Amino acid sequence: MLFCTLPVVLIGFLSSVSAADIDSQKPLKESEDASSSALKVTINWDVPIITSKTTNTLQVVVNPPLLRNSSIHSKAQASLSTIAADYIRFVPWFPYPLLSVPEIEAPIILPPDTCITSWNFTYADQLMEDFYTSTPNVSHMINFSTTPGWMWRIPPWQQYEYPRDINAIDFGYNKGTELRDETLQEVADYYERLVSWYVKGGFVDECGVYHHSGHSYVIEYWEILNEIEAEHSMSPSFYNQIYDAIVTAVHKVSPDTKFVGLALGDNSKDMNYFETFLDPANHKPGTPIDFVSYHFYGMPSVSTSDGEAAQSFAQTDQFIVDVKRIEEIRKRLAPNTRSTLNEIGTFDPQGATIIYPGYEVPPEYFVWSGGVFAYVFAKVVVLGIDVVGESQLVGYPGQFPSVSLVDYWSGELNARGRVLHLLQQSFGVGDVVVETLFKGMDLGANVHAQGFVTKNGEKKILLINKLNETAEVNIKGFESGKAEVVDLSTGGKMWRTLKVGGSSFNLTGWATAVLTEV
């Protein structure tokens, strides 16, 4: 959820590839000659590139549709259960202060007799409980990313009142760039108490009063803040200080928890964030850096569906360049730190934070957007990335409906969610990624292909069509089998399965397909 202050608040990675550069051209075309119109793919099953370390998962951003009084609550939770996977990310986020900040008001401490705190977990507990109930037997990355607003020095001209309506969307909460307590003890204590509430059954507040929760959650991973270059505009060195303070505090009450840092949104803006964060010399001795996290969103300008898809796939190629640069830094400075790309998505430019009366995100958008996620996976699995997380379970008008993995009117999986589910069912850690060759493979070809030999010995091929037109694919090394396809004909319904009788396959427009040799 990268936040840039544009006319409205936006999330994600803004590529240097412009709309003007992309709308005037489609991705690289294969030869137009009729005799060679099919894309020729060669799968060298006996030539391994890498053993996959990559898990496909998702993030759940807290918002009112996930509350129990929501009309889509039950269906959304069922959809979550379907696509839950290891490293699933849970983010109570700042547009909903009452859902995300359990201590919304500053303590009132007036010695000797007055001491009042505002700790209230009514909504946070409901959301956390449902999240854990719907995601059993997987590991979790928890990120209460929003620090209480009262901890920050906020200039008089930025003062405001947060909404008391839990359904209100408020992008004005995260203000201030300096904490009022420069020692960082106040923010560290806040997170120590918050985590203690969930893992140790309660905590003692600022007034010496014990608050009992009875909770004993296992929090496998705790992520420190979110998109820090935008939210509170933190410098790399300042973020390191806060990271170290919070990690130390959380570790006291949850010693087995591992930690995730950075959650950077605009990855290409300043690689110094990675250079600074990943260098152990810039942290207190012994501070663990278990995961580094960062994000990407394809952000096309308003165009036709074809144009917006083309822009997003091109921006993805630029993002992959950034991933390679970041990996070089990580391997040099912190080779034992793992990588999670835990917000991956796209925006319909009219499906972000402004509500356009009568506008609905086009159904085809969710199909090609799912293809973008599959394309990211196919490109980064060969780089050894550990986690790819699709954003987000529920979005809705006014709060990024185009990043939703479910139909925001019904709670059922949409095409983006179906693509994620298909990838999860087809590929996993331990698969062997094999050499896959085709024309234009490094130049933005219309169709992308990647071969895998799964842990069970199955030969599978992932195909992504970047265009809204059928592409004939001829696969050398593939005899026959089945294809599982998410495309315009399936939309948010279950993917269709069909027999493949030989090495040629017609890949429909904007389809994501998994071919399995039988």
Q: Is the pLDDT of residue 12 over 80?
A: no
Per-residue HEC secondary structure of 321-337 comes to HHHHHHHHHHHHHCCCC
Between CA 35 and CA 28 the distance in angstroms is 18
Let me know if 356 is exposed, middle or buried by CB neighbors in 10 A (0-12, 13-18, 19+).
Answer: exposed
Terminal CA-to-CA distance of the chain, rounded, Å? 41
pLDDT at 24: 36
What average pLDDT is seen over the chain? Answer: 92
pLDDT at 26: 41
Confidence label for 1 from pLDDT (cuts 50, 70 and 90):
low
Q: Is the pLDDT of residue 157 over 90?
A: no
Between CA 402 and CA 383 the distance in angstroms is 28
* Unique residue bearing structure tokens 């394309």: 375
Q: Which of 277, 184, 186 is nearest to 223 (CA)?
A: 277
pLDDT at 355: 85
Query: What pLDDT digit, counting tens, does each position of 266-294 carry?
Result: 766 789 999 999 999 999 999 999 999 99
Q: Which of 137, 148, 174 is nearest to 5 (CA)?
A: 174
> Which of 15-24, 29-38, 117-126 has the weakest average pLDDT?
15-24
Please check whether residue 292 is in contact with residue 38, taking contact to mean a CB–CB distance below 8 angstroms: no
Please check whether residue 452 is in contact with residue 85, taking contact to mean a CB–CB distance below 8 angstroms: no
φ/ψ region of 137 (left if φ > 0, alpha if ψ in -120 to 50, else beta) reads left
Q: Which residue has the higher pLDDT, 3 or 15?
A: 3
pLDDT at 106: 97
pLDDT at 394: 98
DSSP 21: H
> Which of 215-219, 425-429, 439-443, 514-518 has the weakest average pLDDT?
439-443
Query: What pLDDT digit, counting tens, does each position of 414-440 carry?
Result: 999 999 999 999 999 999 999 999 988
pLDDT at 247: 98
Between CA 76 and CA 474 the distance in angstroms is 39
Q: Is the pLDDT of residue 482 over 60?
A: yes
Between CA 95 and CA 9 the distance in angstroms is 10
Query: What pLDDT digit, counting tens, does each position of 30-59 carry?
Result: 333 433 688 999 999 999 999 999 999 999
pLDDT at 310: 97
Query: What pLDDT digit, counting tens, does each position of 341-379 carry?
Result: 999 999 999 988 888 888 999 999 999 999 999 999 999
Mean pLDDT in residue range 119-124: 98
Mean pLDDT in residue range 486-507: 95
> pTM value?
0.93
Residues 6+ apart with CB under 8 A from 321: none
Confidence label for 2 from pLDDT (cuts 50, 70 and 90):
low
Between CA 408 and CA 134 the distance in angstroms is 18
Please check whether residue 433 is in contact with residue 381, taking contact to mean a CB–CB distance below 8 angstroms: yes
Main-chain dihedrals φ then ψ at residue 75, nearest 5 degrees: -65, -40
3-class secondary structure, 185:
helix
Q: What's the longest Cα–Cα distance across the chain?
A: 89
Give CA 228 to chain center in angstroms. Answer: 15
Mean pLDDT in residue range 128-143: 98
Query: What pLDDT digit, counting tens, does each position of 302-341 carry?
Result: 999 999 999 999 999 999 999 999 999 999 999 999 999 9
Rg (CA), the chain: 23
Helix (H) or strand (E) holding 373: helix 363-380
